[in-house]
Structure formats: C-alpha cells, structure tokens
Amino acid sequence: MIIHFIASKFRTFWERYIDPLPALRREAEELRLQMEKAKRQKKGSKEIERAYRLKTAEIIAVERGISYRNGSLDWGQ
C-alpha cells in the first residue's frame, strides 16, 4: 500500500516537473475528440478548436525547448 502511494507520487512528480509531454498530449487528444464530436453534431466548436491549437503550440514549444507562457512563445526577449 505504501509502495503504491510512493509510486503514484513519483509518477505525478515526473509528469508535472520532468516530462510534461504525456499529460499535454493526453489533453490535446481529448480536445481533438471533443472538437470532432462537436463538428459531427454541428455545434459551435470554435472555442474547443482554439484550445486545441493552444495546447498543440504548447506541445511543440516543449518539444523544441522553447519556453511557452501565457499563450505566446518566449524567444528570449
């Protein structure tokens, strides 16, 4: 029981601080599925599409090592 607790804490620490890509990709996939569902039902999907684009930009920034803050890329200015 204690081992499972320690393992779960380590896993959350790893995803949050060391490797955020799996969590970001999971969120992007959920947004993509919501966007497709909204398009099938012919509902407004602009907000979901915007969130998906922002999440994808964040993933690209993390992959390339560029800091990404408040919806814009920080190129070291």
The structural domains of the chain, with segments of one domain joined by +, span 21-74
- Ordered DSSP codes for 3-71: HHHHHHHHHHHIIIII--HHHHHHHHHHHHHHHHHHHHTT---HHHHHHHHHHHHHHHHHHHT-EEETT
pLDDT in tens, the chain (77 residues): 788 888 778 777 766 667 778 888 999 999 999 999 998 998 888 899 999 998 998 888 878 877 666 556 655 54
